[in-house]
Amino acid sequence: MKIVILDGHAENPGDLSWDGFSALGNLAVYDRSLAEEIIERIGDAEAVIVNKTPVSRETMDECRNIRYVGVLATGYNVVDVAAAKEKKITVTNIPAYGTAAVGQFAIALLLEICHRIGHHDRAVHEGRWEKNPDWCFWDYPLIELAGKTMGIIGFGRIGQATGRIAQALGMKIIAFDEAPSEAGGRIADYVGLEELFAASDVIALHCPLFPSTRGIINKENIARMKDGVILLNNSRGPLVVEQDLVDALDSGKIYAAGLDVVSTEPIRGDNPLLKAKNCLITPHISWASRESRQRLMDIAVANLASFIEGRPVNTVG
C-alpha cells in the first residue's frame, strides 16, 4: 500500500517515529502541504493521512486510488465525509488521546491567571526584586482556589479530568452536560446552565462545537455570571463570541480569560482578544504533550492496520 502523510509536522516535529506507518506500506511524509500541492503529492496513494490539510471532493475525484483517509485528530471536518461515503472511501479519526493533557492544560491556564508565575519570573530576571524596597512584591492579585466553585460546560472525559484536578485543589465542581453520567456525578453536581453561570467563580469550556454551543459565551450569558469570574477555553474557539468577551474583560465583569483556542487559527493580528485586559492566549497546544502525541500516533497506526485487515475501527461518516 502507498501511504502519504500531508502535514506531519504538528504531530511529529522530530521527537516521534513514523516507523509504524512505514511497516504498513510505502510511506511518503511531508511536514506541510500547500493547497496547490495536495493532489500531486497524493498521486496514486491509497491511504492519505492528514491533520488539518483538507481532502475535498475535487481531491478525491482527481486521486482515484484513495481508499482510506486517516485524520490525525478527533475533529474531521477537513475531510468531505459525504463525498468519501459516496466513493466508498473509509475515513477514521482519533476519538480519545489527549484527555489527561487537555485537562492538565486547563488547570495550567487557571493557575497562571491566579499567580502570574511567568510575569513574576520575568520581573525577577529584570532586576525588580533586587531593587525592591520590600522583601517581596506582586503585580496582580494572588488568588486561592480552595473553596471556590468551578463550573464545567461539557462533562465528558476531558471535562471530568479537569474536574478531578480542580477538586484536588479544594474546589467545588458543578457541571452542565446534555447527557449526565454516573461517572460525572461522582465528581460534580449537575446543574442547569443558568445556575452554572450564576454560581461559578471559574467557568471551563469542554463541550464540542455544535449549533447549540456555538457562541455560548455571549453578552447575555456573561451578564448572568458573577462579577470577576474567570473563563477558561481550551475546547473550541467559536464557543465564544470574542468581542463580547473582550468587552467583559475590559469592563472587569470577567476578571481574566485563559484561552488556548480562538475563532480563526492561527490567530489573526486584528483579533480583538490580543488587546483585551487580562487575556492569556496560547497557540492551541493543550493536546501537544509528547505522551499525548505518541498515543495519537499509536491509534492512527492501529486505525490503518485495522483497515488493511478488513475490520476498520474509529470510522466516521
Beta strands in the chain (DSSP E): 2-5, 26-29, 47-50, 68-71, 90-92, 149-153, 172-176, 189-190, 202-205, 229-233, 254-259, 279-281
Task: Report how far residue 110's alpha carbon sits from residue 152's, in angstroms, rounded to the nearest whole number.
Answer: 13
CA 228 vs CA 198, 208, 245, 300: distances in Å: 12, 25, 13, 42
**Catalytic position from the list 37, 126, 220, 265:** 265
Task: Report how far residue 80's alpha carbon sits from residue 25's, in angstroms, rounded to the nearest whole number.
Answer: 25
Cα-Cα-Cα-Cα torsion 30, 34, 37, 43, nearest 10 degrees, comes to 50
Task: Report how far residue 170's alpha carbon sits from residue 157's, in angstroms, rounded to the nearest whole number.
Answer: 20
Q: What does the angle CA 170 – CA 176 – CA 178 come to, to the nearest 5 degrees?
A: 145
> How would you label 168-204 residue by residue, b for 16+ Cβ within 10 Å and e otherwise?
ebebbbbbbbeeeeeebeebbeebeeeebbebbbbbb
**Catalytic position from the list 236, 242, 293, 295:** 236
Beta strands in 188-307 (DSSP E): 189-190, 202-205, 229-233, 254-259, 279-281
Active site residue 265: yes
6: cell is 500531508
Beta bridge partners of 55: 79
Active site residue 236: yes
Question: Which residues are tagged catalytic?
Answer: 236, 265, 284
